[in-house]
């Protein structure tokens, strides 16, 4: 979790500017809900503690506002659930820094429509002096959950992704 100092997501990061997706936090009972530093921190917190309440004890609703082009609608959606791989995948870069691939599966609730999924990812780069940087991967896919399920179902029918490691 966030308190664990061995967690690659722990601590403060240099954040990439120009993130096109904005996070909107609302609370059922106060006007000033606590807001995480970054979108990454927000998603990680929801993934690791889905029932986390606002500091005041109220229920938080976290929405994402997307900057879609090409006339696509549903620019604001509430986050329903967030998942990341457990364990995460890490490797050593040429300069000795440790790189951790940090993808998220975000399930989004939409009014009057089926859920959507959004899959952003980051690379957490930890240099040998312990400094961490989060690098945001661009072009995260966003699609109807039914489209995602269709692909997953086809892959499973073809014998892939039927259990861990395949
Ligand atoms: Zn509150």
User: Is this structure's pTM higher than 0.85?
Assistant: no
Cα 76 to ligand 1 centroid, rounded to whole Å? 21
Range of the domain at 125: 22-157
Cα 102 to ligand 1 centroid, rounded to whole Å? 29
Q: Does any domain span residue 119?
A: yes
Q: Does any domain span residue 136?
A: yes
DSSP states along 126-140: E-TTS-EEEEEES--
Looking at the 3D structure of the chain, how many domains does it have? 1
Q: Does any domain span residue 125?
A: yes
Of 95, 101, 121, 136, the residue nearest 13 (C-alpha)? 136
Q: Does any domain span residue 10?
A: no
Q: Does any domain span residue 52?
A: yes
Cα 162 to ligand 1 centroid, rounded to whole Å? 41
- Mean pLDDT throughout 146-159? 85
pLDDT digits (tens, 9 = 90+) for 50-100: 888 888 999 989 999 887 767 666 678 899 999 999 999 999 989 899 999
Q: Does any domain span residue 8?
A: no
Of 72, 79, 17, the residue nearest 44 (C-alpha)? 79
Helix/strand number for the chain, H first, E second? 2, 10
pLDDT digits (tens, 9 = 90+) for 9-26: 433 444 444 457 888 899
Cα 97 to ligand 1 centroid, rounded to whole Å? 39
Q: Does any domain span residue 51?
A: yes
Q: Does any domain span residue 162?
A: no
Cα 164 to ligand 1 centroid, rounded to whole Å? 39
């Amino acid at each position: 979790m966030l308190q664990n100092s061995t967690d690659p997501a722990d601590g403060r990061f240099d954040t990439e500017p120009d993130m096109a997706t904005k996070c909107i936090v609302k609370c059922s009972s106060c006007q000033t809900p606590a807001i995480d530093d970054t979108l990454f921190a927000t998603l990680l917190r929801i993934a690791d503690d889905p029932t986390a309440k606002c500091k005041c004890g109220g229920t938080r609703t976290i929405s994402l506002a997307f900057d879609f082009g090409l006339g696509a609608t549903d620019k604001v959606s509430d986050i329903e659930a967030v998942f990341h791989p457990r364990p995460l995948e890490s490797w050593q870069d040429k300069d000795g820094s440790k790189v951790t691939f940090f993808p998220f599966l975000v399930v989004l609730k939409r009014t009057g429509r089926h859920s959507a999924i959004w899959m952003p990812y980051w690379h957490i780069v930890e240099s040998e002096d312990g400094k961490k940087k989060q690098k945001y991967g661009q072009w995260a896919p966003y699609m109807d959950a039914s489209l995602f399920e269709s692909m997953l179902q086809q892959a499973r029918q073809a014998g892939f992704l039927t259990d861990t490691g395949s």
